[in-house]
Each structure stands twice: as C-alpha cells, then as structure tokens.
With several copies, the nearest count.
Chain A
Amino acid sequence: MTKITFGKAINSAIDQAMALDKSVICYGLGATDPKGIFGTTLGLEKKYGKKRVFDMPTSENAMTGVGIGASMVGIKPVMTHQRLDFFLLALDQLVNGAAKMHYMFGGTVNIPITIRLILGRGWGQGPTHSQNLQAWFAHIPGLKVVMPSSPEDAKGLLISSIFDPNPVVFLEHRWLHNTVGEVPDNDFRIEIGTSKKLVDGNDITIVSMSYLTIEAQIAEKYLRKNGVSVDLIDLRSIKPIDMKAISESLKKTGKILVLDTGFTTCSVSSDIISRVLINNFEFLTHPPAQIAMPDVPEPTSFGLTKSFYKRAADIAKKVLDMMGIDSLDPFNDLPPPAPHDVPGDWFKGPF
C-alpha cells in the first residue's frame, strides 16, 4: 500500500497491465507528450516502447476502430480521450461495432478494448468539455461502464477493465485526478459490477458515483454529526450495476436518494429509481429522490457556475427534507469552497 493520487493510480494500473501482458497497448492524443494525459501515461512509452505506446492523429472515429480491429485478434488496447465530449465522433465504432460484435458474430470474436474518457469540470470548461454521458453508454447492450471515485478503485477497476474480454468505457473525473488514497502496489482487481458500501447506516440510502461520492461523503459526515444515519453506496460500476446492494439497503432504510453527475432526463439515476420502484416498491416509505445535473448545457462563466453544480450542502439538504428535519441549515454549515470552479489549488486551469 502506498498513498498516491488517483492519476498515479491510473498510471500504475496501465503500467502493471502492460508489464503483465504484452498484448496491452496504450494510445490516445497526447499519450506520449510531456504532460502524458494529466500524468496518467507518463513513462509508459519509455518502458514499453513506441509500438505499444503512441500518440495519434486527431481522428477519434477511425482510431477507435483501429483499436477495435486489433482487439478482434487479441490485442488489449487502452485508448484515452482527454474529454468524453471528443468521443462523440467515435460512437459508431463503439455502438455499432465494439458493443455488438461478440453478439452479432455469434460469439466468435470478442473486443477487449478499454476506453478511458475524462469528464471535464470547472474553470469554464463550458458546454462541450464537461458532459457526463454515462447514461448513453449504459443504454447500450454489450458495453460495460465503470466510474471509480477513489484511487484504489481506479486502479483495481482499470486493471479489471483492461483484462475484461468486453469493451469497457472507463469514466475518469478530472476533479478526482489529484485526490489521494492508499493503493495496493501490486496488481489487484476489483470485480466490475460490484458497488462499495462506504458507510453503514439505517435512515436513508444514498447511491453515488464518481466525483459526487466525494461530496456525498462530506454530506454524510455532517448528517451523522446531526444524528442522521446514512447508508452510503458508491456504485463504482454503472453497467453492470449492483442493484442487489441497492435493494438490500433500501429494504433497511425505506428511503433512497440517487446522485448523478449527468443530465437528469433519461439518466442513470432515473433508471435506478425506476428499477427500484418496479421491483422494490414495497420497501419504500417515502418518495425517492434524485440529484442530477439540470437539463442544461453547462455554461462557461464563473458567474453562472456557482450554484450550477450540486454539492455536499445540496445533498444534506435533500436528506434532511426527506427526514423531515428543518432545524438545520446545511448551506450555512457546509459553505462552498472559494473559488467554486476548481477542485483544489493544484488545478490552475486551463484544463
């Protein structure tokens, strides 16, 4: 175990996968440049050579197809896009190709590609550098979708993704890259599709994902101090999704709040709520609740983003409302950090 950043955990996962298996390759715009995709690919070219680690033309569509084609014959590509938004150019390859090939070729081939997509936020990323489209990927049969929130999970899930025989969309939140945590030094794997119970509680279930787990943890501490016992589940995987853990928690608490970094309509959180209600209607003692991004393109201006993102205080407020507690003022007790548009001092813009 060593204390490292989320970004370094990603780097370590790719490094160990490449050391373990010669068929793992790593590429993407900037994969071999001096910044190495926010540090996540630094050092790999030197260690594994130009053939296995390479930069690419700004050709997202074909380059995704190149990875898929190589996957058909046993290569295990880790492809990275610095923003999910750029990957919209490559959806034909992913959705009409990778996601369906195992099925539509009757099981004769499989596509062990891992596509890392970085989710932007803050410093005026604006409408086309900030989209969290996990719901799109989850909608497509044949894809797996992973959204870790801690360095340890990032490493364990990335190694599992790389060695998974299916296409995995690995969604990495930019605001997590500099978070720090204990991470095993060796190769280790976390099963895709398993959630993690971060806090055991009895009053309400909170289901969270990716960066919102950080905010949920702040809210949970505050709520605990104030006598509300939260059962906090970090999804880690979006597809397959650990509905069993959610149902079990709901059986205990009767109340559920689902957090989502994506737009509200047709979202992962809507889907969780709908599933819970179809299958576990009898557990519910209170209408379910959802905190997701509004159905609005993200604005750029510092003046417009201040209350745009939901934070710990919003989560705490919603829980208190659901608990019928109105004696607390979480917006006062959990003030937003200033400036609100960076995750910390390390983030100096512009990315």
Chain B
Amino acid sequence: MDIKDKTKLDLALDKEILFNIYYVMRRIRAVEEKIVEEYPKKQIRCPTHLSIGQEGVPAALAQVVTKHDYAISTHRGHAHYLAKGGDLDKMIAELYGKECGCSKGKGGSMHLIDVEQGFMGTSAIVGNSIPLGVGLALSLELKGLKNISCIFLGDGAIEEGSFYESLNFAVLRKLPTLFICENNLYSVYSPLDVRQPIDRQIHTIAEAVGAKTACCDGNNVIDSYETLNTICQEIRSGSGPWFVEFETYRWREHCGYNYDNDIGYRTEEEYETWKRRDPIKTFVDYLKNNYSIEVVNKLEQIDQNIFKEVEEAFEKAKKASYPDPSHAYTSIYCQ
C-alpha cells in the first residue's frame, strides 16, 4: 500500500503540528546532546544508548497517539519515552540512578517507564518487549477500548523468534498493534549483511506474516508523520496490525556517547551521507523554504524553552539524592 497516495496533509492548516514535531525532535536531540556532555563526568553510570539521528520517527508518532495509547520500546528508548510524553525530569533522574527516577534508580537508561503516559517500559533484552506490546493490545481488545499499542523495535530485533511469534499472534487476532521498526542498518557493530540476506527487505517478511506494511524515510519527518497518521487511523478503525519500516541512522556509538566511525565497522562517508539527511535540519530547511519568517522565528523560541527545560532537568537530577541503600532489597514482590 502506498500511504502517500491516500492522504495529503495540508500543512498550512496544521502549524501546531509542525511546531510540535519540531519541539519533540529538538527536545530529544537536546537531551541526548546534554547526555553526551555529561556522560564523561561519570555520574551517569549505566549502559546508555543514544538516539541522536533517530529523532524523526518518534516525533512523528508523538502527533498521532495519545496517552491512552500504549507504547513499548527497547534498550534505545530515550526518544520513544520522551515522544510518548514521558516525564523528562524522571528520565534524567533515572539515568543518574536517583530515587526520583522513573524507576526509582533500579532500572537505569534501559528501563524507562511512564505508566500515566501509556509508555509501558523498555527492555535491555533484544526482542523481549515485542510480545509485551502485543499483550497490551490484547488488553485493549479485552477491555473494548479503541486505542492502539505501538511497538518500537530495531533491525536486529526482527531476527529474534519473539518478533515473528508476536506478529503472527497479533495478525491472528487482528490486534491494534503498530510495529515501528527503526532500521538503522546496525546491531551493535554488526552490519545487516552478517545477519540478514542482503537482497531482502524486513517489511516484506512482516507482510508475508500477514501485517499491513509500509516503508518510509525516517529522516523525512513530514513523510513519517503522514504515514503514521494514516496508519494509526486505520488501526483505530480495525485494520489489525501494521508494520512500518523506517530508514534511519544512529550517529554515535552503539552504547555510550562517543563517535566510533574510526573503529572500522562503518565508514566516515556513510556517516556523513546520513548526517546530511539529519531529520531536524531537513525539517527546518523545509520550513524555511515554505513558511514565513514568523514560523522560523518561533523555532528559536522553542529552542530556548527546550534548553532551559533540559538544563533544569539535569540540575535537578544531579542534586537529587540516591535511594537509600536499603531500597535495593525492597519491591521484589508487589504486596
């Protein structure tokens, strides 16, 4: 199915959405860049996977779901948490292992959750959260709700049997699931070609399993928005599972804050090519070319607010206290 044929967004009518897309993308970037700055100080002491370069898709999704929809994600979950409305302060505090973190310091960067916003967690085990997302969709069906469940996964995660099994069940039961595959070409330092046949596309598997599918440039956030907007409407009206594959690229190392193009698993050229497709820059250029100066000026104002917000979140997190050591031994069971 070609999504773009089906709807055409009149962007002129939707400035709010434009600004919000920008806000979400820019805020994710700002948070991640602040982590880059802070991580070397060794106060954030947990494995941390940044989403710089991959902000477009979550920002697009943010426009078409509400807190009554669910989302679930992976080790690389910062962007998804924030896009889904997750509390910024609590996320940063969690990275610092503080008591006021979203998981009270017990989970760290790889275990973010904000139940109130329908962001139902992330997992440090590849593929582990996929069936959870299907289970969330099942709960919607059982409760007779019309919301949807969004499942973020990487190109590596689709190699897990849990992906295949989960998708089969979602299709079997026509559950309101949206599989969002961010294909960034790598799993850690392993390129696609040592893991998957080179002439195959991931979404074709999902299609054969029975999902409706689409493929989209994740760096083009307007395209991404239009695609996801249409698809979410379809799911809400009972289409059953959709699987959308987004082209994207992680700029920095798999885990940590550095660049690592020098170590040899990918080329500097490849990185530069993708960097030129920066979802934020592309979006801003588009606005500059198509909108009035007021619109563009507004972006700067948004930036200011974001920077302030982010600074404050880090300040608060640093100042916050660690959980009492005795808390290591509590909450093993729910009473």
Contacts and interface: CB of A to CB of B under 8 A. Distances in A.
Interface of A: 23, 25, 29-30, 32-35, 51-52, 54-75, 85-86, 89, 92-93, 96-97, 101-110, 123-129, 141-142, 144, 165-166, 294-297, 299-308, 339, 341, 349-351
22 contacts: A55-B194, A57-B165, A57-B172, A62-B166, A63-B165, A66-B169, A69-B132, A71-B135, A73-B70, A73-B120, A96-B124, A96-B128, A97-B125, A104-B103, A108-B102, A124-B45, A126-B106, A126-B124, A165-B334, A304-B328, A350-B47, A350-B255
Contact of A62 (B162, B195, B332): B162
B331 interface: yes
A128 B99 CA distance: 20
Interface in B140-170: 141-142, 156-157, 159-162, 165-166, 168-169
A341 to B, nearest CB: 6
A69 B134 contact: yes
B136 A351 contact: no
Contacts of A303: 97-99, 105, 321-323, 325
B139 interface: yes
Contacts of A61: 131, 161-162, 165
Given A34-B189, A57-B165, A73-B120, A300 B106 contact: yes
B107 interface: yes
A304 B162 contact: no
Given A67-B135, A92-B128, A301 B162 contact: no
Interface stretch (B8-16, B108-116, B229-237, B304-312): B108-116
A72 B70 CA distance: 11
A16 B335 CA distance: 23
Contacts, number: 281
Q: Chain A: interface secondary structure?
A: loop
Given A96-B128, A106-B105, A107-B334, A349 B159 contact: no
Interface bin, chain B: 35 or more
A137 to B, nearest CB: 14
Interface in B11-30: none
Contacts of A301: 97-98, 101, 105-106, 108, 322-323
Contact of A69 (B42, B135, B263): B135
Contacts of A64: 131
Given A66-B135, A66-B169, A349 B142 contact: no
B195 A58 contact: yes
B334 A102 contact: yes
Contacts of A129: 47, 124
A147 B328 CA distance: 27
Given A74-B139, A307-B325, A142 B333 contact: yes
A103 to B, nearest CB: 5
A166 B333 contact: yes
Contacts of A128: 123-125
B240 interface: no
